[in-house]
Amino acid sequence: MKIPTTAKRLLRLTPLLVLPLMVAGCQKKNAYTTLYDRNISAHPPHCLKLSVFPPDPAIERAAHSLYPFRSDCPYTLAVSTKEGIHCNSNANAPRKTLSNFPSAYLRLELRHGMKLLYSYYRDLTAPPDAGDLEEAFDRMREATGLRGAK
């Protein structure tokens, strides 16, 4: 059986078409961000108060190296982390064995009082570290126009 010329071309191009999808699937920097107040960059926060939950001295030190936080500020940056996440669902069994199933996360929420202004969430395959926090903080600073970072 002879393969038509167009089919041969398609077979030759298949690796070139699939390669970008494979590279995109291997990107680890997939974070979900939401800007709830579109006008925040016109009037960015002039200060931030830090809240870390659960308490983590390493994350707190990393945060203090990025910004001069004040305890009397009405704007709160809530940083929450979790590590050692285990999913016992059988529906995820193939995904857990064949991929880098997340075992931790990093979440940032910027609030003015109780009003949520910005959020950042990223699944991680290792415990969150200073580099993860710096990347999240930089994205928040870009989105909100925050000034005064160290």
Q: Determine how β-strand 75-83 pairs with β-strand 104-112.
A: antiparallel
Identify the pLDDT of residue 58: 93
Beta-ladder partners of 130:
none
Identify the pLDDT of residue 90: 56
- pLDDT higher than 80, residue 65: yes
Q: Is 137 within 8 Å of 150 (Cβ atoms)?
A: no
Identify the pLDDT of residue 109: 96
Domain for residue 5, yes or no? no
Angle, to 10 degrees, between the axis of helix 130-144 and the axis of helix 57-66? Answer: 40
Domain for residue 116, yes or no? yes
- Residue from 120, 54, 52 nearest 83 by CA: 54
Identify the pLDDT of residue 21: 46
Identify the pLDDT of residue 98: 53
Residue indicated by tokens 């999240």: 136
Identify the pLDDT of residue 24: 43
How many domains are contained in the chain? 1
Identify the pLDDT of residue 102: 66
Domain for residue 17, yes or no? no
Q: Which residues contact 9 (CB under 8 A, 6 or more apart)?
A: none
Q: Which domain covers residue 135, as residue numbers? A: 29-144
Collapsing DSSP to helix, strand or coil, 85 comes out as: coil
Domain for residue 90, yes or no? yes
- pLDDT higher than 90, residue 15: no
Domain for residue 19, yes or no? no
pLDDT-based confidence at residue 106 (cuts at 50, 70, 90): very high
Whole-number Å distance between alpha carbons of 110 and 140: 9
Q: Does 60 or 99 have the greater pLDDT score?
A: 60
Domain for residue 122, yes or no? yes
**Other residues' Cβ atoms within 10 Å of the Cβ of residue 13:** 10
Q: What is the mean pLDDT of residues 68-87?
A: 85
Q: Which range (60-69, 100-109, 121-130) has the least confidence? A: 100-109
Q: What is the mean pLDDT of residues 4-28?
A: 53
Domain for residue 69, yes or no? yes
Beta-ladder partners of 51:
78
